Amino acid sequence: MRFKGLDFKTRSIKYGANVFLVTTFLLAILVIIGAISVRHNVRFDLTKTKRYTLSPQSVKVLKGLKEEVRALAFYREGEARRRRAEDLLEQYVYHSRRFKYEFIDPDRHPGKAKRYEITTYGTVVVECRGRQEKVFDLTEQSLTNALIRVTRQGRKVIYFLRGHGEHALDDVQRNGYSLVKKTIEDQNYKVKTLLLLRGRGVPPDATLLVIGGPKKDLLPLEIRDIKGFIERGGKLLIMADPYSGKNLKKFLSDYGLHLGDDVIIDKLSRVLGGDYLIPVVSLYEDHPITRNFRDASFFPVAQSITIDKEPREGLEVVPLAKTGPQSWAEVDRERLNRGEASYEEGHDKKGPLIVAAVATKGVRIRGGKPKRARIVLFGDSDFVTNTYFGISGNGDLFLNAISWLAEEEDLIAIRPKPPNITPIILSPSQARWVFWLAVVILPGVVILAGVFILARRKHNR
């Protein structure tokens, strides 16, 4: 004999238990997912300009952190800039657990503000192992540079040769190297100039020597000092313009690198709105300097480079970057001076042409360990002037070469670009259209509409 009331209660308890178990199980899953997401979260940047994505170099620096780095952001509560700063700092935390940050209101914590000598709102102090760097205008570029400076022991010295009409480091005009100097110093290097004419040789503290576009040939004494530097395992970056001096060419040929007496012509540059004398480079070899490098680079008035296919023993020579197949090396200098150029089979060299190459040589020093001397050669020096440094991949290609020569391969990557810079390059015809549209047509339409409305009102009266 069964009781309906008892049967109903049994079913209710059974269903209630099932609901409780299912609810508990779902809550447990959600808790587990939440715990995993805290330690292993994934971010997706769907913005068109990748606003919330760090550059490869920033990610590389963060992944390479060996000690904890703290960023103290001195912002007032409710300050408009604080939200943007927090978004950027969160991106850094996402890529490294060793990066920590803290927001401090200097008005509420005047003691900390005084301790860190904070004089303006929006200052970020980056510190590691007692070293500090202040960032006054917080951007990815400034924050990553501060990270590099506080996490690296000492500052390596880079010398720029002078005395032959090279590009000046303090020149802020279009042909100067002031931007080169600033960017190198941001990477925690010390930049100095060197006058080899004094006969003192390359200083022992030199990490590498840069020769940037000499207008006059180097003297035999200087070549001897540079060669001695290389034979001690030194590092050398040469950027030589067409028709460089004989002494420099002879020096480079000893290391399997040969500069051509020519100027590269590239029709593709005309299609992109440039001059025939600005070859476009998008073919890169698998080398640490250019590995995973995708940006095109532009070399205004460049010469070709050839390398020894069978370099002498102990020497390794490889190409680094090449122009496209539509380019050629014009060897007729008189025609170039007249503004004329055309490819002649059997006379000119057909592309692809090498515009950058690398030579390495093993050297042995008495009583010391074997070293590898390194030379990077570019067939142009104008591609990193103030005019061209920020164009496409020019600056990154140059800085990658600096990092490789300084034996700091962990800095080789695409670097963060200055924010809010999206240049629009207009052709002359496009510029005229913009002028007529903005200055003549649109104001004219407004004026005509006003005249028409006034005329109708008078007519209706």
Q: Which of 154-163, 312-321, 420-429 has the lowest mean pLDDT?
A: 420-429
What is the mean pLDDT of the segment spanning 357-385? Answer: 90
Among 335, 107, 375, 102, residue whose Cα is nearest residue 231:
375
Confidence class of residue 329 from pLDDT cuts 50, 70 and 90? very high
The helix/strand/coil state of 375 is: strand
- Is residue 295 a contact partner of residue 369, using CB atoms and an 8 Å limit? no
Phi, psi of 117 (to 5 degrees): 55, 50
For residue 141, the model assigns a pLDDT of: 85
DSSP assigned state of 421? -
Share in percent of the chain as helix, strand, coil (round to 5):
35, 20, 40
* Residue 436 structure tokens: 């007529």
Strand, helix or coil for residue 359: strand
User: What was the pLDDT predicted at 456?
Assistant: 75
Work out the average pLDDT over 19-31.
Answer: 70
Contact call for residues 147 and 126 (beta carbons, < 8 A) = yes
Give start and end residues of each alpha helix (H) in 255-393. Answer: 267-271, 333-337
List CB contacts of 28: < 8 A, sequence separation 6 or more.
none
SS3 315: strand
Backbone angles phi, psi at 308, to 5 degrees: -70, 125
Question: Structure tokens of 427?
Answer: 């052709």
Tell me what percent of the residues of the chain surpass a pLDDT of 70: 83
Neighbours of 99 (CB within 10 A): 22
Residue 315 burial class via C-beta count within 10 angstroms: exposed 0-12, middle 13-18, buried 19 and up: middle
| pLDDT tens track for 166-224 | 999 999 999 999 999 999 998 889 999 999 988 789 999 999 999 999 999 999 999 99
DSSP per residue over 34-69, as a string?
A: HHHHHHS-------TT-TT---HHHHHHHHT--S-E
What distance in Å separates the CA atoms of residue 284 and residue 393, rounded to the nearest whole number? 12
Across the range 259-265, mean pLDDT stands at 94
Does position 430 have pLDDT exceeding 70, yes or no?
no
Mean pLDDT score, 28-32: 70
CA–CA dist 133, 415 (Å, integer): 19
Residue 52 has pLDDT above 70, yes or no: no
CA distance 241 to 212: 9
For residues 279 and 327, what is the distance between their CA atoms, to the nearest angstrom?
7
Specify whether the CB–CB gap between 383 and 355 falls below 8 A. no
Query: Which CATH superfamily includes the segment(s) 56-150?
Result: Glutaredoxin (3.40.30.10)
Mean pLDDT of 149-160: 89
What is the pLDDT, as a whole number, of residue 360? 95
Listed by start position, the domains of the chain span 56-150, 156-339+346-411
156-339+346-411 carries CATH number 3.30.2310 = no
Inform me whether the pLDDT recorded for 257 exceeds 70.
yes
Per-residue pLDDT at 129 exceeds 60: yes
Q: Give burial (CB, 10 Å; 0-12/13-18/19+) of 57.
A: buried
Q: How confident is the model at residue 440 (pLDDT cuts 50, 70, 90)?
A: confident
The answer, yes or no, to whether the previous bond of 352 is cis (omega within 30 of 0) is yes
Residue 421 confidence (pLDDT): 46
Percentage of the chain lying above the pLDDT 90 cut:
55
pLDDT band of 454, cuts 50, 70, 90: confident
Report residue 112 as tokens: 């900390």
pLDDT confidence of residue 313: 87
**Which residues share a beta bridge with 211?**
238
In the predicted model, is pLDDT for residue 426 greater than 60?
no
> pLDDT, tens digit, for every residue of 109-126?
999 999 999 999 999 999
For 265-315, write each residue's pLDDT tens digit. 998 876 555 678 999 999 999 999 998 888 999 999 999 999 998 888 889
pLDDT digits (tens, 9 = 90+) for 71-107: 999 999 988 899 999 999 999 999 999 999 999 999 9
pLDDT for the residue 334: 86
The whole-number pLDDT of residue 20 equals 67
- Residues 370-379, mean pLDDT to the nearest whole number: 94
* 199 secondary structure, DSSP code: S
